[in-house]
Amino acid sequence: MGTSTHIAPIQKSSHLQKSKHTQNTCPIQANAKPAPVHLPPKEQARKSSINTAIAKPFVKWAGGKSQLLNKVQKVLPQDLASRKNITYVEPFVGGGAVLFWILQTYPNIKRAIINDINQELISTYLAIQNDVENLIQELLKFQQEYISLAPTERSLYFLEKRQAFNKKDVAPTRLAALFIFLNRTCFNGLYRVNAKGYFNVPHGKYANPKIADESNLRACSRLLQKVEILCGDFEQTSRYASRNSIFYLDPPYKPLSTTSAFTSYTRQGFDDTEQIRLGTFCQKIARKGALFIESNSDPKNINPKDTFFDSLYETFSIQRVSANRMINSNAAKRGAISELLISNVENV
Ligand SMILES: C[S@@+](CC[C@H](N)C(=O)[O-])C[C@H]1O[C@@H](n2cnc3c(N)ncnc32)[C@H](O)[C@@H]1O
């Protein structure tokens, strides 16, 4: 661990360069509701509804935080909307539910750093940032081809694309298109790899999946223009810790039992040693003056005497919040459970 990975650079498409410097064709600007001018910034952010965000995660991702946004917001510093020079850091960005929401809710955040160990996911963020029009064209082609096929032919088409994705022998924007296509058409939108690191989720059976969500991809691209995108282990983000930074950490959750959790985002996995390494990381960034909020599972759901996180984060605040989780393979065991929000934010 502790390494960062080089991701092949993507040429900026001429369209994007043009739109950045000359005309603004992005729908996020045209459709954005203007904030009420008579409200102070703090009040504006509070009023901003969780559901009015225009840019939303472009992939379905296990552990996505869309449903917990209002709970995360309550833990954020109350004066966040009026703070200047804030750097937002998300070391386990995944689908980016918190990233996209926070950048739209707090436009005063001028700088953001995101990181994930999943190279293909990060390549896709880079393609959306730098080559969104070509990416959309690739996805529109996949969409037309896939939707016109009969169910059995669709399964074959999916397997062909999964093989091409695992071979990785394609240009970065094509790899990003394959990544999004597979996410939209595979079983439950899961991302799971086998011991060799190959994506192995089977074909899903959605009748009419939206493979090319053009307006959302352009809205994401627009927001990502102010984001620095890194690929590697979470520890490399500690260099951004300062009195002006806020970290949101959403690591792979500690499994509640051997059957209850989905933990195979990566070949390496994320065991208790990794959770302890993350605890040490939080102490380190807190010492540098950074604020942090971390989500994790609550082992007390299964064993009320389990104090793993209470001990690991004893010097920080731990809140228990309710969440609906759909990642149990046994449908009967899905439902509301308690999750942790660990932080060093003091809201008085
Ligand atoms: C729970 S998901 C994040 C979910 C995300 N916040 C969302 O809203 O969709 C955890 C992420 O951590 C990443 N990850 C796993 N081990 C990591 C490591 N050592 N360093 C950085 N990222 C890691 C996985 O690839 C995965 O995307």
Over residues 30-38, mean pLDDT: 36
CB 276 within 8 A of CB 312: yes
> 252 C-alpha vs ligand 1 centroid, how far in Å?
6
Query: Does the structure show a pLDDT above 90 at 314?
Result: yes
pLDDT in tens, 199-249: 999 999 899 999 999 999 999 999 999 999 999 999 999 999 999 999 999
Beta strands across the sheet bearing 87-90: 227-231, 111-116, 87-90, 245-249, 291-297, 335-343, 317-325
Over residues 143-168, mean pLDDT: 97
- CATH architecture of the domain with residue range 39-117+232-343: 3-Layer(aba) Sandwich (3.40)
> 6 C-alpha vs ligand 1 centroid, how far in Å?
18
State phi, psi for 303 to the nearest 5 degrees: -135, 100
Among 71, 220, 266, 340, residue to substitute to test ligand 1 (most atoms within 8 Å of Cβ):
266
Euclidean distance between CA atoms 182 and 211, whole angstroms? 9
Atom of ligand 1 nearest to the CA of 90: 6
State phi, psi for 199 to the nearest 5 degrees: -65, 125
Pocket of ligand 1 (CB under 6 A): 61, 63-65, 91-92, 94-95, 97-98, 115-118, 233-234, 250-252, 265-266, 270
The model's pTM: 0.84
For domain 127-214, say whether CATH 1.10.1020.10 is its number.
Answer: yes
pLDDT at 173: 98
> 314 C-alpha vs ligand 1 centroid, how far in Å?
24
| More reliable by pLDDT, 4 or 77 | 77
> 92 C-alpha vs ligand 1 centroid, how far in Å?
4
CB 184 within 8 A of CB 177: no
Domain boundaries along the sequence of the chain: 39-117+232-343, 127-214
pLDDT at 8: 53
